[in-house]
Amino acid sequence: MVTPASVLLTVMAHPDDAELWAGGTIARHVHNGGTAIIAVPHHDAIRDAEAKSGARLLEADLCLMEQLSVSTVATMLRQVRPDVLITHPTSDIHPDHRRCAEVVLSALPDVVITTGHPKRAYHSDGYNNLDQHGRPLDLPIIIDVTSHWSTKLDALRLHGSQPINDHFEPMAEALGNLHGRRINSARAEAFRAVPILGCLPAAAGL
């Protein structure tokens, strides 16, 4: 019997968010035999094209949602049935990120009850590892992405309409170094498990 590949789904607010907050983890997941899907709302033609390019480089499928709503996300979750789900923290500095996280969390209970998926869900990092109150985000799950760091940055750089060189890439490097030091590796990404129906995953990683 062939075991189906584990499916990792990221639901993010903007086309470059998956690369910025979880690009190394996505690349690592695919490298290890899994399947990855990046879901973001439709933006304009330029940003949508950048999203397609970034997903392609990470070897992930792209889902461009017409709108970010509970019903849209719930329908997608039922169709995809991901094993692992990543979205923004509910305390993120960016209001679009907070709204995205709340929409995802609102969709989860009914979907998990009816499908059993996702098995595990996680919040990602945020701007400079700070929440909207200026406090460090508590992200105890650290994923070593050293071997996939260059792929993450290459995918991030494909979002040329955004301030990658002056802002996002330096921040990604700083966060990668920060979390890497926490596990004695060169580069890492950090996450926090989300309780699903009151249960936290037993796994130490994603």
**DSSP annotation string for 135-188:** PBP---EEEE-GGGHHHHHHHHHT-TTS-IIIIIHHHHHHHHHHHHHHTTSS-E
- Strand order, beta sheet including 141-144: 61-65, 35-41, 7-11, 84-87, 120-123, 188-193, 141-144
Non-local (6+) Cβ contacts of 1 within 8 A are none
- The pLDDT score that the predictor gives to residue 205 is 79
- The pLDDT score that the predictor gives to residue 154 is 98
Residues 18, 138: Cα–Cα separation, whole Å: 19
- The pLDDT score that the predictor gives to residue 1 is 41
Q: What is the pTM of this model?
A: 0.96
What is the chain's length? 206
Place of tokens 């990602």: 124
C-alpha radius of gyration, the chain, whole number: 16
Residues 144, 28: Cα–Cα separation, whole Å: 9
pLDDT in tens, the chain (206 residues): 445 789 999 999 999 999 999 999 999 999 999 999 999 999 999 999 999 999 999 999 999 999 999 999 999 999 999 999 999 999 999 999 999 999 999 999 999 999 999 999 999 999 999 999 999 999 999 999 999 999 999 999 999 999 999 999 999 999 999 999 999 999 999 999 999 999 888 777 78
DSSP state of 5: P
Non-local (6+) Cβ contacts of 75 within 8 A are none
- The pLDDT score that the predictor gives to residue 66 is 94
- The pLDDT score that the predictor gives to residue 2 is 41
Three-class secondary structure of residue 59 per DSSP: coil
Residues 56, 126: Cα–Cα separation, whole Å: 23
Q: Which domains does the chain have, with CATH numbers?
A: 7-193 (3.40.50.10320)
Q: Which two tokens stand for residue 86?
A: 């990543």
